[in-house]
Each structure stands twice: as structure tokens, then as C-alpha cells.
Structure 1
Amino acid sequence: MNRTPVVLVVDDEPNGFTVIRALLKPEGYEFFYVPSGDEALTQLDAIKPDVILLDVMMPDKDGIETCREIKANSAWASIPVIMVTALNAKEDLARCLDAGADDFISKPVNRVELQARVRSLLRIKQQYDALKDTLQLREDMSSMMVHDLRTPVTTILLGSQMLLMQALLPEQHQERLKLVYRAGQQLSSMINELLLLAKLEAGSLLLNYSEIDLNVLVTTVISEFQELAQARKIYLDVQLPQSGQQITADLNLLHRLMDNLLSNAIKFSPQNSTVTLTVEYLPHATHNGQVRMQAKIHVADQGPGIKADLRPYIFNKFEIGEAMHNVPQIGLGLTFCKLVVEAHGGSIYVQDNSPQGAVFTVEL
């Protein structure tokens, strides 16, 4: 069932709303009116407009600043905004467009022009909403499929683990069974990470905060990768500060974050090279003037590095940078890291490692 389009008019002069409503009434829209930019920003979530007609010249917060704040909010940015203005200088119209306005109409408002511009932007908004719904459906179906994969993978893991414990098979078959078990563990880890990724993207994952000693966590993570690093002839160098410092974070997510960064560093490192994991604490001034300790985690490798033109995209989903022979790349690990860091209010970025390689830095 099609919903009646909602038009929000923002104008400090009630007569302006009266005129616009009269001109658009034959179109059958639902109308809402607010007299100021501040009130518009307060009411947007409740009104849920399909298009906004925004007067430029208003006291306190003018239409340009109001438009800029609307477009800066990811939840509202897709709402088309038509600036209604008596200004006609090109510089003024450019300011409207720079603020994010989708269109503008001059006063006195012409009925035919107003109806045509509103219809045009409503068509674009409807197409956007339809595409958004389609993408959301695809994401939901993908998450359901990934969730359903857990049952058969769990069966494979339990079955192979029981056979390994019983040791009934010949040694040659035992080795093959170990390969099956390790592959099942990797697949299970990927499934769990995809589910966590979906929750992080949806903002529905509740973080389980606790006080974490990064020295203890890093020591644990390094020990889990020692065997893999030795098999690849890679040396793991750990540089930790004096003990006693702690940060507040989700231990499980932070552990997985380090797993991803360290796994990537080892995967892309040549033999007889070094991967360095460094932790440091720096004083950081908060917005209220207080000082707290900021944790920085650096993971540096001596691999091929990441080209400067790829760095803005390397944290995007399914972005693998440059494909490498015999190196499996899915393009979800760094996306997961970025979402984990942002969920904690931190940042992650990549720089060159001198003389060769890349350094990923996490700030929490």
C-alpha cells in the first residue's frame, strides 16, 4: 500500500506555509508546518517527511544552516530539501547548494514550478527508499543464511573432534582429519565474524565493557600466532609499556580486532621478516577539559604495503586492495576492525612502514 507523501514546510512566516499548502493541495500530500530551523531539527524523526520546503531567511538559525545540519545527519541526509528564497544572486544560490540543498525555488512561488519540483524530488526519494529496502532485504537474507550455516559447521567440528579423541583411524587418516577440523574452525570463525559484522553495521550489538590490561591481552594474542609465524619464518616482535595501565572496552571484540590485524600482517609478510605489535599510552584531553589516557596499538609488517590511492577504501566491505597470488582475501577483516573501533569511539588508519610495509594504528 502506497503511503501519502509527507511535505514539511519550515518558515518563520505562517503565511508562507499557507501559500505553499494552497499551491500543492491538488497533489494530495500530507502537510506539516514548523516555524523555525531548531524546531524542524527537533521534529524530523517524528514527522518523517519525504520532502522539506525550507525558507532561507529566518531569524536565529537560517535555512542554510538548518539544511547543513539536516544533511550532516546520516538518518536525514536522504530527505530532499528545496530552499525557498527571495534571494536571486548566484552566490546566494551557490551557498544553498553548498549546504546540501537538492533544489531551490524563488519567491514569489509559481504553482506549476513548485508542483513540478516537488514531484521530481519525490520520485527520486521513492527510488532511493525502494533501493534501500531491497538492499536491506538482501542483507537480512545474507545474515539468515550465515546464521543457518552454524549448525552444519558445528556438526562437522563435533564429529571430527570425537574421531580425533578416539584415535581409531590410521595415522595418515588422522592427519587428514586434523586438516578437516582446522578448516572447520576457520569456517566457524568466519561465520561468527560475519554475524558480528552484521550486528555492528546495524548498531544492534551491545558492547560488554570491562577493564582490560592490554599487556595481558597482547601476550595472549601473540601466543596464539607463534606457531603460524614460525611456520612462515616470521619473527613476532612485541613492545609493551610498563604494566598497570588499563582501558575500558569489550574484551571479545578487542581480541578479534587484534586477531585480524595480526593475521593480516603475517599473511602479507615475506619469509624472514618481522611483524611488530606495539602498545603505548598517551595523555588525551577530553571535551570537558579532563585528561585521560589514550591507548594506541600499532601492528607493523614488512610486506608490500598499501598504495596511497587505496588507503581511503581499504576499510570498505569487500575491498581487498591489490590481489596477491596464493593469499586468500575476502575484504571483510578490515571492515570488521573499523566497525569495532568506531563502536568504541576510536579510530583506525594505515601508514607506510619504513623502509617497507604497512603500519595499522588503532586509537582507543
Structure 2
Amino acid sequence: MPEPAPPFTASLADGAASPPRVLIADDDMLSRTTVAALLSPAGYRLRFATNGEEALLAVSEEPPDLVLLDVMMPVLDGFEVCRRLRESLRGDYMPIVLVTALDERQDVLRGLEAGADDFLHKPVHGAELRARVSNLLKVRAYHQLLASQRDSAMATADALRQQVLHADRLATLGTFAAGVSHELNNIAQVLHGLLEPPGPSAPQGTVEVMDSGDRDMLAHVASHVTELSRTILNIARPEQSSALDADLGRTLEEVRNMLRLTGRMRHARVSLVLPEQPCRIRANPVHAQQVFLNLLSNAADAIADMPEPSIEAGVRTGKDGRVEAWVRDNGPGIPDAVLGRIFEPFFTTKAPGHGTGLGLPVVKQLVESWGGRIHVHTQPGSGTRMVLDVPAVAPPLP
């Protein structure tokens, strides 16, 4: 292995802003010295390599902002070094200038195919060298600015995605709150009936004694209240979860029970097709609940006016290590004019105040974040079937 090239040396005084770094790779000491002297007025930080392997090692240790690469070098020539650098630096743009005495068209073409940005012919002219290096460093700075803006945009997009997920959860929570209010009113009526004192027609001296049936009724009511509060807490749970995966079969059953407790699906016949073995996927369990809540709630809305409303939902092991889940209703189906827009944020066919237009976009976003896909099968008059196809978590080894 060749010895590592010396680190970049600064040409500016200590305390000055760090200048661009330039790697000069050439096996001829006179050529390296000449190029360094010609670049000295620009104040670049210079590093040197005497062959192709040293050049690759220097770039891996401390990536320069630009490489001046001699073509005719021992061990690895400049064409091969250029090609390897382009392969290893796919995510970052670093200008490479081939400095060569070769002047044949085929040599120029070979250099361009290897990924070179420019050519300089020996003997190098100082003003031309400085102009080309300066221009290519400006191009690199522009690429770095674009990369920084891209990273900032991605961070902003992720923050907005979290806001959309939160907004959809709040909307779901609001819908459930209305159902819970109705259920609590029914419970209050039961409690009033059990706790009312004897009426005026009761015989004088009658003392009300609660029988076993009343006690059972109170126990049932208390259990119902507990489940309602647990449902609200599940929906409003913070985004962060210590769990790394979710069992979709169990999640589907939990969501069905949530919807039953709030009376959301009381008007429909609901059947579940659940697997015998867990069907686990790499997902936040709260997000998995959010997906099924949206799909089942949409199905319940779709069949509200049907004479015999029914919903089927299920989970099963698919092919090639994947999990398939579905929600099917016997509603009117989705018209073609609407089908193409159902995943658009804020698009809704519901009456004002009854839908945010975030449910299905959030479902699609979450499913795709799991590495999955969502398919819609619908036909006017024949209902709708939403199908999720998601990679499964490999079962632990015995």
C-alpha cells in the first residue's frame, strides 16, 4: 500500500476562512510544483498524490473540492482513477480536470466517458488553469447549494407530513368524540334508571334494594365506560411508540371494536377474516390503527344508505413474504370522475363539516412508508374493495 498523501496545506494565514481544497495528482514532481506555483495566487489549500492509488486514498481521507489529475501515471492511470471516483461519489459532485500531454480525439472522448469535467493540455498556462479551476469550483458551490436546499426541502416536507398525520388524527378524534357523546348519554340514562328512588305509587316504607340483575347492569356499564376511555386514549396516543412492528390482524380487530363501541358501525353487518398466525409488518402500531380507522370509517359512510349494509375486512399472508389486508363494502362504488382524485389531499365528496379530505391521502402515505402499495377495486353499483400489500416482518428463528 502506498503511504498516505500529506493532508491539505493552507496557503492563507491562520484564522482566515477555509479556502477550497485542490488535489494535484501527478507522478512528475516538476509538474506538481509548477501547477502549485500557478495556483498559489488564488490561495487554495493544496494536497499532492504521486500515483493513482494515492489519489484515491487522499480523496477517501479528506474529499477535495476539485481534482487535477494527470493521465499518464503509474499503478492506475488518470482515466481509471476518474472512473472510480465517479462511481464512489455518486451523491456528491466533485469537479475532475484531466491534465495531459495527449491530444488525440479518442483520448478526449475516453476521458469524458470516464467522467472528466474538463481537460488541460501540458504545458499548462497559468491564467487558463486558474480560470478553469475557479469556474468549476463555482459549479461545485452551486451543486452544494442545491443539495442544501434539497435537504431543507425534505426536512420541511417531513415536518408537513407529520402535521398532516396529526391533523387527520384530530379529525378522527373529533368524529369519535361525537360517537362517545352519544354512548355516554345512553349510559347516563341507564344509570338514572337504576339509581332513581321509588316513585310516589310505591308502598309506604318501601326500601329500594338493588338485585343481582341491576348489579350486572352496573358492571356492564362500568366496563363500557372503561372501554370508551381506552379507545379515546388509543386514538390520541402520541406519535412516538417503542414498538417497532404491528400485527395487522390484531390491529384490525382492535379497530373494529373501537368503532363498535362508539356506535359508528352499529347499522352494518361487519365480518372479519383474521389469520391464525400473526401477520406482522414494520410499522408504528398507532399508524396501523390510523390506516384501518380511515378505511373502515369510509366504508361505514359509503353503506349508510344501503338496504343491507355490510363490510368485510381481513388480513392474510400474501406471496413472497408480504401481507395483504383489505376492506370491502357493498356500497354504491366510486364513480370514475371521483376515483382519480381520492388520494388528493383535502379532496372529499362528503358534506361540509363531515370530512377533511385527509383520510385516504394519509392512508396512502403511511402504506408507502412501510414499503407497501394500496390498490382500489371499485365498480359503480358493486361496492369498493381497498387492498393493502405490505412487506411482512420475517418471523424470528426458532
Q: TM-score range by the shorter chain?
A: 0.5 to 0.7
RMSD (Å), alpha carbons: 5.6
Superposed displacement of residue 274, structure 1: 5.9
Distance in 2 between residues matched to 1:297 and 1:2, nearest whole Å: 60
C-alpha separation in 1, matches of 2:337 and 2:378: 13
Cα distance in 2 for partners of 1:63, 1:53 equals 9
Alignment partner, residue 219 of structure 1: 253
Count of aligned pairs: 282
User: Matches of residues 171-190 of structure 1 in structure 2 within 5 Å?
Assistant: 189=236
User: For residue 350 of structure 1, what is the aligned residue in structure 2?
Assistant: 374
Distance 1:135 1:259, change over 3 A: closer
Contact 2:326/2:388 (8 A) holds in 1: yes
Given candidates 309, 315, 320, the residue that maps to 1:279 is 315
Shift in CA distance, 48/42, structure 1 to aligned 2, threshold 3 Å: closer
2:298 is matched with 267
Secondary structure of the 1:350 match is strand
Q: Residue 84 of structure 1 is aligned with which of 62, 74, 97?
A: 97
Give the 3 Å change call, closer, same or farther, for CA 63–259 of structure 1 in structure 2. same
What is the CA deviation profile of residues 215-274 of structure 1, one whole-angstrom value per residue up to 9, with x for unaligned ones? 33332233223456526x666543233x24464756xx1342242244145337622476
Which blocks of at least 5 consecutive residues in structure 1 are unaligned?
72-76, 97-102, 148-156, 172-180, 197-204, 285-293, 342-346
CA distance in 1 between partners of 2:68 and 2:113 (Å): 16
Q: Which secondary structure does the structure 2 equivalent of 1:320 belong to?
A: coil
SS in 2 for 1:216: helix
Of 58, 66, 89, 1:70 maps to 89
Contact 1:6 1:32 in 2 (8 A): no
The answer to whether the aligner puts 1:105 opposite 2:118 as a matched pair is yes
CA displacement 1:1-57 (0-9 Å, x = unmatched):
9952543649586878777655554444445667558747854xxx466x3548697
Specify the alignment match of 1:361 in structure 2. 389
CA spacing shift, 1:62–1:129, aligned 2, 3 Å: same
The whole-number CA distance in structure 1 between the counterparts of 2:290 and 2:368 is: 13
Structure 1 pair 325/283, CA: closer, same or farther in 2 (3 Å)?
Answer: closer
Residue 296 of structure 1: how far off its partner (Å): 0.6
Q: CA deviation at 1:362?
A: 1.6
Structure-2 change in CA distance of 1:82 and 1:245 (3 Å): same
Contact 2:273 2:314 in 1 (8 A): yes
Change (3 A) 1:92 1:244: same
Contact 2:234/2:286 (CA < 8 Å) preserved in 1? no
- The equivalent residue for 2:324 is 297
Residue 115 of structure 1 pairs with residue 134 of structure 2: yes
Taking structure 2 as the reference length, the TM-score comes to 0.49
Segments of 5+ residues of structure 2 without an aligned counterpart are 1-14, 101-106, 167-176, 193-227, 393-398
Q: Separation in 2 of the partners of 1:143 and 1:225?
A: 24
Percent identical among aligned pairs is 11
Amino acid in the other structure paired with 2:290: D
